[in-house]
Amino acid sequence: MGDAAILANGALSQSTAPDSLTFRISPPAALVMDSGATLSPLTIAYQTYGALNAARSNALLVCHALSGDQHVANLHPVTGRAGWWETMVGPGLPFDTDRFFVICSNVLGGCMGTTGPASINPETGNPFGLDFPIVTVADMVRAQALLLDHLGIETLFCVAGGSMGGMQVLQWAASYPTRVFAALPIATSARHSSQNIAFHEVGRQAVMADPDWRGGRYLIEGARPSKGLAVARMAAHITYLSDSALHRRFGRNLQDRSARTFSFDADFQVESYLRHQGAIFVERFDPNSYLYMTRAMDYFDLAADYGGSLANAFKGSRTRFCVVSFTSDWLFPTSDSRALVRALNAGGASVSFVEIETDRGHDAFLLDVPELIETTRGFIDAAARARGIS
């Protein structure tokens, strides 16, 4: 882990997230957001692994997905579970912490220490709730850039992430092309599809339909829309898996019984599994943050931000890209990755593309998939040699 974070005014920060470092931006400094809102004060919670070299050239930023956080490779302080990308981050792994200084921050609008809708609004003394400004992926990246400025890191060796994390990777490469040497977007797209927006709307409506949501004021009123958030998570979790993976794992097997109950109990193993996923999610995630994160993904459309041309977003880029997709990922299908690769080629970028055959669906980027690990290792090693990192 890194040392205690230092505030803009030089004072030591006390972490607002369990076992995390924090960086705090205080007035008159502020983050200007796409919505036109300004946010200050602002706290960014983050974790670091490994050490920054003397040349400050070995920093590797990991960007987390919708339900992730900064605890990428350490025991999670809330759930007690292993870090969400321990297959990738650590000594001897592709993001080798003996070689690289790995950074992962909780995104803007999150709920693990970075300022979000559950944070206290300094104007009212109460949690923001829906008074928190709408967040975009570009806003998340701007906040990360402020963190890197604080850490004294001008250029990132690599930015990597999957799903919403991959969106952040692409935004980094488009917004800060001179600060990114290599980029690894996995299982992602340069824009959210209408189908994905539709799935997100179902999840948001599940949260907002819960009577305990209270118009987003549940924290002030001592309530929590746990049932709605659990249903949202259950629906979303289905999209992270493939039909064949679900069938292989559960089939039509009944849950701990040999006969149907002729009721609406969880007769099938897959029902029990989804209910469990919903239950454990609500223990660590803020419902309003779920609304904000899904909306940020919905708004993501790099081409629209660059005159309708995705190639323009990467025109003249010197960043090295490796785009990775999975054959069974129907949430972010390979066709999205191919469109991204074509745009990168049209923009003159250096890009390689790997489609990995697996039946494990969208969540394959989080799992122990040997071809993904070896692809990542090969790309990172080649980039490190070009960067002069031993």
User: Rounded to the nearest 5°, which phi and psi values hold at 235?
Assistant: -65, -45
Dist CA 6 CA 292 (whole Å):
28
Dist CA 110 CA 209 (whole Å):
21
**Catalytic residue numbers, as ranges:** 163, 329, 362
Distances (CA, A) of 87 to 49, 145, 357, 370, 372: 14, 26, 18, 10, 10
Dist CA 359 CA 242 (whole Å):
6
Only one residue has tokens 């796409």, namely 34
| 3 state DSSP class of 101 | strand
* DSSP state letters, 106-143: PPTT-SSSSS-TTSB-TTTSSB-GGGSPP--HHHHHHH
